Amino acid sequence: MNYIVFDLEWNQNPGGKEGAVVGFPFEIIEIGAVKLNERMEQIDSFHQFVKPQVYRKLHYKILEVTHMDLEVLKQEGKPFPEAIQNFLDWCGNGKQDIRFCTWGSMDLTELQRNMEFYYLDNPFPMPLLYYDIQKLYKLLNGGESVLSLDQAVEDMGLKEERPFHQALDDAYYTGKIMGHMAFEKVKEYLSMDYYQLPSVREEEVCLKFPSYTKYVSRTFETKEDALRDKNVGDIICPQCGRMLRKKIRWFSVNQRLELGLGICPEHGYVRGKIRIKKAEGGDVFVIKTLRLAGTEMLEDLSLRREEAKKKKTERNKAKRQAQKKK
């Protein structure tokens, strides 16, 4: 298998969100990539400027970060459909065994969003699994905060041979990090891109990792529809796959997060976390993670449930008072 380590630079509406094209917040203006073999050695590279077609002036923040020259983009850039075809051909266009790798979780999503904008066929599978090297770096090194690429390069003591915030250079540094990190220890922790989602129950995704499982639901019209679904509500032991009795039923922490606790007779407590996400078309979907937990989790979630109930009561009281004033 070869690893396609790529990075994108994109522009946005110079006038801000109000004048942006609906459903197209970012326009890709540069694609950079390196190809690594299984020994994490760089065997090829790709670089392509993309000619702006939608946002024809650079947002000041983009200029500030990338120092991009608009005239260079106009003169050397290819129209996006041609640029993406060149990139896919370089990747192998389905004829080679590859895995995409990025620093962060946005690049594959924005690549597909740009393809859809130009009515191009989406060549990627569903689920689209890839390596988020930023996430893997955090798994290996711990810490509460997520490091930027330049911080990780400095943290690893790698030589800074190129500038940052240019697509090929950022891909190069990401590849260097892969070559110097203990990749084999974390290679099981694949990420899933959520631009393409299951549309029916049979397509729903369940990924098993060494320390937890992740379930990605089909799309639903509303959050309430999602939470009523049996697949969404089940708590299953990530070790033995047994359906579990709920010790603490699912409760809302906020509009986007639900927590629950199951108990396995063989492996003990299993903490469940449901995150409600918005899909591209406005529907919602669920990402549910299940992992083993210690006995202290029972007390912890009991307290959080009581806090959530208290906050809900206070919100309802405030609403009633506001209605009386009207």
Cis? peptide before 198, omega within 30° of 0: no
Q: Identify the band that residue 326 occupies on the pLDDT scale cut at 50, 70 and 90.
A: low
Angstrom distance (rounded) from CA 46 to CA 131: 19
Residues 178 and 248 in one domain: no
Residues 9 and 92 in one domain: yes
Residues 66 and 214 in one domain: no
The average pLDDT across 3-15 equals 96
Q: Which domain holds residue 299?
A: 198-313
Residues 216 and 144 in one domain: no
Residues 159 and 217 in one domain: no
Q: Identify the band that residue 27 occupies on the pLDDT scale cut at 50, 70 and 90.
A: very high
In a domain, 326, yes or no: no
Q: How much is the pLDDT for 77?
A: 96
Residues 60 and 157 in one domain: yes
Report the share of the chain in percent with pLDDT over 70.
99
In a domain, 92, yes or no: yes
In a domain, 325, yes or no: no
Question: What are the tens digits of pLDDT across the range 194-217?
Answer: 999 999 999 999 999 999 999 999
> Reduced to 3 states, what is the DSSP secondary structure of residue 37?
coil
In a domain, 323, yes or no: no
Question: What are the tens digits of pLDDT across the range 279-305?
Answer: 998 999 999 999 999 999 999 999 999
Residues 45 and 165 in one domain: yes
Q: How much is the pLDDT for 225?
A: 97
Q: How much is the pLDDT for 312?
A: 87
The label of the residue with tokens 């449930």 reads 305
CATH number of the domain that residue 116 is part of: 3.30.420.10
The average pLDDT across 97-114 equals 97
Q: What CA dihedral angle connects 46, 49, 53 and 58, to 10 degrees?
A: 130
Residues 174 and 222 in one domain: no
In a domain, 318, yes or no: no
In a domain, 90, yes or no: yes
81 sits in the region (left: phi over 0; alpha: psi -120 to 50; else beta) called: alpha
User: For residues 238 and 146, which has the higher predicted lDDT (pLDDT)?
Assistant: 238
Residues 14 and 80 in one domain: yes
Output the average pLDDT for the chain. Answer: 94
> Reduced to 3 states, what is the DSSP secondary structure of residue 128?
strand
Q: Indicate the residue among 134, 157, 186 that finishes a domain.
A: 186
Q: How much is the pLDDT for 96?
A: 78
In a domain, 103, yes or no: yes
First CA to last CA distance, the chain:
66
114-152: burial string, b at 16+ Cβ within 10 Å, e else? bbebeeeeeebeebbebbbbbbbbbeeeeeeeebebeeb
Q: Identify the band that residue 253 occupies on the pLDDT scale cut at 50, 70 and 90.
A: very high
Please tell me the pTM assigned to this model.
0.92
Q: Indicate the residue among 186, 206, 223 that finishes a domain.
A: 186
Residues 37 and 116 in one domain: yes
In a domain, 324, yes or no: no
Q: Indicate the residue among 186, 206, 222 that finishes a domain.
A: 186
Q: How much is the pLDDT for 163?
A: 87
Residues 214 and 162 in one domain: no
Question: What are the tens digits of pLDDT across the range 262-285?
Answer: 999 999 999 999 999 999 989 999
**How many structural domains compose the chain?**
2
- The answer for residues whose C-beta is within 8 angstroms of residue 300's C-beta and 6 or more apart is none
Residues 35 and 98 in one domain: yes
